[in-house]
Amino acid sequence: MDLNSVSDALSGLQANQASMDVIGNNIANVNTVGYKTQSIRFEDLMNETLSNGSAAFAGRAGTDPIQVGLGVGTGSISLIDTQGTVQDTGRPTDMAIEGNGYFVVSNGQQTFYTRDGSFTVSPDGVLENAATGMIVQGWGVNASGTGDTTTPLGPIKIPLNSQTAAATTKASLAGNLDASQATYSAGPPPKGGKFSTNLTIYDSEGNAHSLTLTMQKTGNNTWSWSVSAPTGSGVTLSGGSGSLTFDLAGALKSPIAPPNLNITYGNGASNATVALDFSKITQLAQTSQVTVATADGMPGGSISTFNVDKNGVVSAVYSNGLIKPLAQVALADFRNPDGLLREGNNLNSVGPNSGLPQLGVAGVGTMGVIHTGQLEGSNVDLASQFSQMIQAQQGFNANTKVLSTTHAMVQSLFQILP
């Protein structure tokens, strides 16, 4: 006696139980950071062929094959890789990816990939996931302040307790020189147009140096300028003089390019070149008043915090206002994310069918952007899961009915046998 219905029902029970396992796991992870919903797909198993059927012949129509199915099995369990809701956390070290990509993390021996950006800074300044000890991977920055993707990946480290200073390399002056003044004469007594202003610059060690910028009218629409250092300061200047010419409307005519002031410091700091921009100075019949509008250079300062922009560039923020790029967070994408192997702890590893990781930076190409102070929630839709749960329950119950009915049929058969 062939009882295929028993094996069919057993396979149905197993398949619907597997469906409940997937649904239960999805619901359990409804609040898991970066979790992606799993979806199960069933497929029929082999069929018992009672007749292969026949083709049409000699005016007779063909016959269809006669086959009896032998149950159901699990075809695949795949990911629904849609975007999870990005939620604010208030923690500046937390990161969320909006779009494609995975963070790259490592335990020093193996590399993993994750959507979980619950990061923190270790006591030695390494950016890590404190729950797993996985270290976030990225690149050091090049001269332009972006990640040097031609170099190998490595840990991202924040130089805690570091200090830095920035030498002045450019200064922009703005204001007015009085056009109504006569040509300057040293006298005695001195008369005519002359104006002086203070110019503070910083050397490579963060020391401030006070210089004097003097402008004297030398003729119609023409002024000379010169920069001097206090006697005994140890500062030696070259290229620190020139002339300014203005057009009939009082706008600067020359120099077009900012002239360079070359400085040699006597305190051991590096020599410097400062570009002086005079383009914002006018010559109008108003009181002379020229000040430094903008200038770079910073005194010494210590690191106070760090930030990460949408492209994953990590920058240190110093107490003196200096922002210095340190590294860039790496992202990885895969041709087939469904092929990744889930390793637990929100980690994935390369699988046989995932393809190799395609490394890149956030916001470039197909890679998503990074949001700091936020985490990506799961993409589990509870309403959908409850609906699937009902279907799995009905399927399971229906298969138990097949078993009980088959059992009743066998009992009836035994009763009529001699």
Q: Do 255 and 370 sit in the same domain of this protein?
A: no
If pLDDT is split at 50, 70 and 90, which confidence band does 418 have?
A: low
**CB burial readout 302-319, b (16+ within 10 A) else e:** ebeebebbebbbbbbebe
Q: Are 370 and 89 in contact (CB under 8 A)?
A: no
What's the pLDDT at 280? 97
Q: Tokens at residue 166, please?
A: 């920035």
**CA neighbours within 13 Å on the CB side: how many for 109?**
1
Q: Do 27 and 137 sit in the same domain of this protein?
A: no
pLDDT in tens, 209-251: 999 999 999 999 999 999 999 999 999 999 899 999 999 999 9
Domain end (from 344, 361, 376): 376
Q: Do 111 and 185 sit in the same domain of this protein?
A: no
pLDDT in tens, 101-126: 999 999 999 999 999 999 999 999 99
Torsion angles phi and psi, residue 312, rounded to 5? 85, 10
pLDDT over 70 percentage in the chain: 98
What's the pLDDT at 147? 87
Q: Do 173 and 253 sit in the same domain of this protein?
A: yes
- Which range marks the domain in which residue 97 is found? 90-145+320-376
Check whether 267 has a pLDDT greater than 60: yes
Q: Is 135 a domain residue?
A: yes
If pLDDT is split at 50, 70 and 90, which confidence band does 72 have?
A: confident
Q: Is 409 a domain residue?
A: yes
Q: Do 201 and 112 sit in the same domain of this protein?
A: no
How many CB atoms neighbour CB 270 within 10 A? Answer: 11
Q: Is 35 a domain residue?
A: yes
What's the pLDDT at 396? 92
What's the pLDDT at 155? 96
- Compute the distance between CA of residue 20 and CA of residue 388 in angstroms, rounded to an integer: 8
What's the pLDDT at 2? 54
Q: Is 310 a domain residue?
A: no
Average pLDDT score over residue span 198-204 = 95
Q: Do 372 and 384 sit in the same domain of this protein?
A: no
Average pLDDT score over residue span 191-201 = 95
Q: Is 124 a domain residue?
A: yes
Q: Do 218 and 253 sit in the same domain of this protein?
A: yes
Q: Do 19 and 48 sit in the same domain of this protein?
A: yes
Q: Do 128 and 173 sit in the same domain of this protein?
A: no
What global pTM score does this model have? 0.77
Check whether 282 has a pLDDT greater than 90: yes
3-state secondary structure the chain: CCCHHHHHHHHHHHHHHHHHHHHHHHHHCCCCCCCCEEEEEEEECCEEEEECCECCECCECCECCEEEECCEEEEEEEEECCCCCEEECCCCCCEEEECECEEEEECCCCEEEECCCCCEECCCCEEEECCCCEEEEEEEECCCCCECCCCCCEECECCCCCEEEECCCEEEEEEEEECCCCCCECCCCCECCEEEEEEEEECCCCCEEEEEEEEEEEECCEEEEEEECCCCCCCEEECCEEEEEECCCCEEEECCCCCEEEEECCCCCCCEEEEEEEEEEEEECCCCEEEEEEECCEEEEEEEEEEECCCCEEEEEECCCCEEEEEEECEEECCCHHHCEEEECCEEECCCCCCCCEEECCCCCCECEEEECEEECCCCCHHHHHHHHHHHHHHHHHHHHHHHHHHHHHHHHHHHCC
Q: Is 57 a domain residue?
A: no
Output the average pLDDT for the chain: 92
Nearest to 360 by CA among 79, 150, 175, 205: 150
Q: Do 255 and 361 sit in the same domain of this protein?
A: no
* CATH code for the domain of 234: 2.60.98.20
Q: Do 271 and 363 sit in the same domain of this protein?
A: no
pLDDT in tens, 120-172: 999 999 999 988 999 999 999 988 888 889 899 999 999 988 888 999 999 99
| Higher-confidence position of 203 and 67 | 203
pLDDT in tens, 329-360: 999 999 999 999 999 999 999 999 999 999 99
Q: Is 157 a domain residue?
A: no
Domain end (from 263, 296, 329): 296
For the chain, the domain total comes to 3
Q: From residue 76, give the alpha-carbon distance in Å to each of 9, 27, 128, 199, 283.
A: 20, 19, 34, 72, 79
Q: Is 348 a domain residue?
A: yes
Q: Do 408 and 338 sit in the same domain of this protein?
A: no
